[in-house]
Structure 1
Amino acid sequence: MTTSQFTGRPEAARRAVVITGASSGLGRHCALHLAGHGFRVFAGVRRAEDGERLREEATSSRLRPVILDVTDENSIRAAEAEVAEEAGAQGIWALVNNAGTCVSAPLECVPPAQLRQQLDTNVVGPLAVTQAFLPHLRRTRGRIVNVTSGLGSIASPYLGAYATGQFAKEGMTDALRRELRPLGVTVCLIQPGAIDTPIWNKVRETGNEVFGHVPRPLADLYRPTFERFLQANEARAHASRTSPEDFARGVRHALTAARPKTRYRIGTDAQAAAALSRLLPDRALDRCLSALTKR
């Protein structure tokens, strides 16, 4: 997707947007980008120090950090009340559900509690935030942008827990789009591909943590191929020509276009994953991914 495709309509600027997971990575970059383009951004962070750091980085006074933990119902209610009061009569124009975590490990090794945490952050939490802000979005006939990834199209080995959450969020987004259309709320999906952000360090840390809590024979069964997978994934991210700015422009287009797309696939790898999932039979796709698990 090229820069020229992300033009959008200027009249949506200065409207209030809530974005979750703005402490780091793509969420942080997107919050700064939207504020720089005139939106009034309420940037959800989990810790006050993250919010202060984000405020210092912002070149615009239109960015306002808000404590928002998508896995905590009390935090969600408090954030909704705070944003509603700050937004005032102008109302809340959009919600960007960006917050998420990534559990990376062979599914045989992933503890059920860790899978629940993955789904709580990436699926249940975004729905809870959406439910809290929907009354405001109906009043403004606003927009919801849900962020998944290319793994919402293809489930990669060793990212099964993460892909499970992404597939679920894709289905949730489709249902929301169809349910909310008659009520005047537009729902879009952003699928970024590999982008060089700090999440790749977290992927390795999470994988090592999982292996540290399983029996040694089981860990040894997967560890060599898992390490090769990590190296290949990190190399792909470092070599990616897709930038956080590409992602942020995609979000901005979804918030400003008169007729936004239902899905924005950011990066050639995200576009390729979607195409392959549609065109290739399962067995052929399995063969394409077999190099990741080759012993």
Structure 2
Amino acid sequence: MSGRTAYGRWGAGRLPAQGPVLVTGASSGLGRECALELEALGFQVLAGVRREEDGEKLLTESLHDRLRPVVVDVTDEASVRACAERVEREHGGLRGLVNNAGICVPGPLECLDADQFRRQLDVNVIGHLGVVRAHLPLLRRSRGRIVNVTSGLGKAAVPFLGAYSAAQFAKEALNDALRRELAPQGVRVCVVAPGAILTPIWGKVSEAGERALDGVPAAVAEPYRAAFRAFMAGNAQQAAASRTTPEDFARAVARALTDARPRTRYWVGADARRMGRLARLLPDPLLDRRFSGIAGPAAGPTGRRPR
């Protein structure tokens, strides 16, 4: 029996899975799994995709006729506004918003230009806030919920994923502020933070990693090259070996939307929980020591790295 049909009974501690829910970034990976899971549970799912063909493909996987694709680019205000207008026209309110759309820009911070860093923040932070702002009147009307997807890197930054970590830290801050601002209005806000899960995004990250040092002056790129390549290979291996599944993520989102008393944060996967625990308990010097091997051997007293 699949995860989408074995979620368990709804009890006194769970709200009914009904009403419209918008899931951004539903074309593939975690967003796709989440959209299909929520549809199976009983929600009317508006699956946010960037291309019509992605929506058509998703429709072929829908089994309950409760999923409708909606083309939306979270970085385009007009597109986001059109999405909100469609939700109001067709549903009049919104039971839940799952802010899942995102990208990962890997690379040493010294090697990323302003446009690359801006793109990371534009999609993962500014775009998320824009989607929230556009749909808040509908969520307020329904006393709905906002689920913001972050990761363990929203609590502890690692070398070579500095831009992505900065976006995740920012989303954690936005989530905290929104949770406190909207609580008096009856809108609940929480985080779902997954660890490494094997999805198509890892192929995109690996491809982006291959290009990360292209065009960077050799004097800038060379000190990072070997360690960065090893890091990217290790990242891919970690995802492939992960026992956490997209279904685990989708079930956590469902819990966040239906728990009568939702948690502020739902960790998904042992590695995500471990990262959160380390960030909370270890002082910075110990965290630095834990991540010290990623960026390569430390420089000696002359400033040169040992060979």
1:198 is displaced (CA, Å) by 1.1
Partner of residue 95 from structure 1, selected from 91, 94, 97: 97
1:214-238 Cα offsets, whole Å, 9 max, x none, are: 1123222211101110111111111
1:6 is displaced (CA, Å) by 7.7
Matched residues in 2 for 1:214 and 1:7: separation? Answer: 55
Partner of residue 217 from structure 1, selected from 219, 234, 248: 219
Match of 1:290, SS state, is coil
Structure 1 vs Structure 2 CA RMSD: 1.6
TM-score (norm 2): 0.91
Partner of 1:195: 197
Structure 2: which 5+ residue stretches go unaligned? 298-307
Q: Which amino acid aligns with 2:47?
A: A
1:281 is displaced (CA, Å) by 1.1
Partner of 2:256: 254
Partner of 1:80: 84
Q: Which amino acid aligns with 2:288?
A: D
Partner of 1:19: 23
Match of 2:294, SS state, is helix
Percent same amino acid at aligned positions? 56
Matched residues in 2 for 1:188 and 1:234: separation? Answer: 28
Aligned pairs (5 A) from 1:65-214: 65-88=69-92, 91-214=93-216
1:32-91 Cα offsets, whole Å, 9 max, x none, are: 111111110000000000100111111121010001100000000111111221214xx2
Match of 1:145, SS state, is strand
TM-score (norm 1): 0.95
1:173 is displaced (CA, Å) by 0.2
Contact persistence 1:6–1:249 (CA under 8 A)? no
Partner of residue 284 from structure 2, selected from 276, 282, 285: 282
Richer in helix (by share)? 1
Match of 1:241, SS state, is coil
Q: Which amino acid aligns with 1:122?
A: N
Match of 1:100, SS state, is coil
Matched residues in 2 for 1:273 and 1:7: separation? Answer: 31
Matched residues in 1 for 2:9 and 2:237: separation? Answer: 32
1:189-217 Cα offsets, whole Å, 9 max, x none, are: 01000101111111121122221121123
Contact persistence 2:209–2:232 (CA under 8 A)? no
Q: Which has the higher contact order (CA 8 A, sep 6+)?
A: 1
Structure 1: which 5+ residue stretches go unaligned? none
Match of 1:144, SS state, is strand
Which protein is bigger by CA-based radius of gyration?
Answer: 2
Contact persistence 2:75–2:127 (CA under 8 A)? yes
